Structure formats: structure tokens, C-alpha cells
Amino acid sequence: MVAYRNLGRSGLKVTEITYGNWLTHGSQIENDTAKACVRAALDAGITSFDTADVYANTAAETVLGEALAGERRDGLEVFTKVFWPTGPRGANDRGLSRKHILRSIEGSLSRLQTDYVDLYQAHRYDHVTPLEETMQAFADVVRSGKALYIGVSEWTAEQIRAGVALARELHVPLVSNQPQYSMLWRVIEEQVVPTSEELGLSQVVWSPVAQGVLSGKYLPGAAAPAGSRATDEKGGAQMVRRFTENQDVLTRVQALRPVADELGLTMAQLAVAWVLQNPNVAAALIGASRPEQVAENVKASGVVIPPELLARIDEALGDVVVRDPALTAQSSPASI
């Protein structure tokens, strides 16, 4: 079964492998298959589920709500997010204004078929709305009982520090950050992780398998496999190309196969296990287009990678690893 970790310094425990439905539910796969994937996650011991209102323009929340209907709500940890425009995309249908946050939580709760979410996250940093307004709105969501904890996603160390200061003044629990993190993408390690450790936040990381690249299925000099994400222009192909267009990346990823074999893991399991070696990571988000993928990925839970193998991973990947902390700031648009 999947192990639990505390989210930040809070008492909330989440499964260290959390099921996320970005790019799949409501878009890439049929609803029946999506629900089967959620069932597989529950059967494997996953109780934490992450989504966002913007995923499939709200359809992902609806599918997740339907898939979890009938489950004991107190036995689940449900996360969602707010920031990006949805629906008619009017002037106030975006960002972290008080209006957008308070209206968006209502829509998310309705689609998720629940009275509250365990974690409500700012999907990006809003450079237009005063941070004080944003944090007051989140505080009101918590005090109304519609969210138990708050988090952020892809915020810089400085933004996290400012957000935590206001959250403490307002006496609301800001407990997590949701960044991209993998063997190939380590931009949070220099600044975001130390700041989060100091302030009591955990990371809930997305794309631990680097959009499938770390599974080893993209071979150097070969065309992308048919049906893979790299061939799906609506399903993240542009993000995958960040890695697949560099043949050195693909060559070096293949050098990880002996490490995975030594641990008795698939390469995808190795990638998920690797992010969980970082003690500041509370959960790795996994998605799935087939139920059996869930069953395979949860085998990364509880894996301990010895220091000598971690060193071999670093040696194998070398200078293709992206580490520039300035890239976090680029994920939040100056205007939306």
C-alpha cells in the first residue's frame, strides 16, 4: 500500500503518490476509463487526488467528482486549484482576485460533489492582484469551511515567503507548493526547497517522469512512439519536446536503465521514487491513461535509493539537468 507523509508542518497526511488528472480526464481518455483509473488508484491505497478548475476547462473536476462519488469523504484528500481562465473567460474569470477566488471555489465544489476541499491552491502567482487581497480571500475560504488548507503552485522562494507572512497574520495554514520536479528538472532545489523547509511547506510535485521522457520510451534517433504524449498536440507535446528534441537528453536517460534494473524497478518507477527521496516532497503526482499504469507507478512508494545509486543517476544525466532557479518565475505570466 502507499505510504503517507505529512503535508508541510500540518497534521494533514497525504499519500506520497497522489493521483492527478491533468491532461487526461475530460480530454485525452474516455470518462469510463478515467473512472477506472481512479478506481485503480483507490484499490492501490491512494487516497489523495489532485485536479484544477482549468483542466479540460472544468471537465476534469467533474469527472473526478463522479469517480469519487460514494466514497467515504473523510477518507479522501481532495486538492484543486484556481488562477487560469475558465468558462466564458471574462475579465474577472481569471487570476487571484477576491471575486475570482470566491466564485471559483463554489464552482469547484459543485463539480467535485463535495462540501469542501482539503487543499485549495493558487495555480500561479498573480502579478496584477495585490497579494493581501489574494490571501484575505483564501483566508475567507478556509474560515467558511470550504477548504481546510491552502497551497500555491510554481511560486518563487520570495513569493512563498511573502505569502506565508500574510497567511500567518491571517491565521490560515499555507502548507504546500506544487512545482514541476524530476531528475531532469531540478529548478526548485536551490531556492524554493530551502525556503519551504524553513517555513514549513512541502512540495507536491508534478511531472516526476518528465512527461514520460524518464520512462525511457523515447529513444535517441527514433521517432516518438505512436499515441505517445510527444505526438499529441493537445496533450502536452510542446512540453515533451523540451526534452525530446535534445538527443543528448534521450541518450543519457537510457543510461539510467541499469540503475532501474538493479533496484528491480521500471524506469518510470525509478523516476517517481527519485523525487520521493527528497524529504521536502510530500507527494509525487502521477496520471494515467490506463488503470494498469496506476498499479505500476504505486510500486515506487517506499523505495529507498542508496546514496551510491543516486550518485550514479547524477553522473548519468550530467549537464542535461535543468537547474536554473530563475525559471520558476517564468511560469507565472505578467498578465492573463
Please indicate, yes or no, if residue 119 is contained in any of the structural domains.
yes
Please indicate, yes or no, if residue 83 is contained in any of the structural domains.
yes
Say how far apart CA 237 and CA 232 lie, in whole Å.
5
Tens digit of each residue's pLDDT (9 = 90 or more) over 237-288: 677 778 988 999 999 999 999 999 999 999 999 999 999 999 999 999 999 8
Domain extent for 132? 4-212+269-304
Tens digit of each residue's pLDDT (9 = 90 or more) over 20-57: 998 766 555 678 888 999 999 999 999 999 999 999 99
pTM for this structure? 0.94
Tens digit of each residue's pLDDT (9 = 90 or more) over 57-91: 999 999 999 999 999 999 999 999 999 999 888 89
Please indicate, yes or no, if residue 320 is contained in any of the structural domains.
no
Please indicate, yes or no, if residue 59 is contained in any of the structural domains.
yes
Please indicate, yes or no, if residue 108 is contained in any of the structural domains.
yes
Please indicate, yes or no, if residue 43 is contained in any of the structural domains.
yes
CATH of the domain at 106: 3.20.20.100
pLDDT over 60 (residue 233): no
Q: What residues are labeled active site? A: 55
Please indicate, yes or no, if residue 116 is contained in any of the structural domains.
yes
Please indicate, yes or no, if residue 159 is contained in any of the structural domains.
yes
Say how far apart CA 329 and CA 314 lie, in whole Å.
25
Question: What are the φ/ψ torsions at residue 90 (nearest 5 degrees)?
Answer: -75, 180
* Domain total of the chain: 1
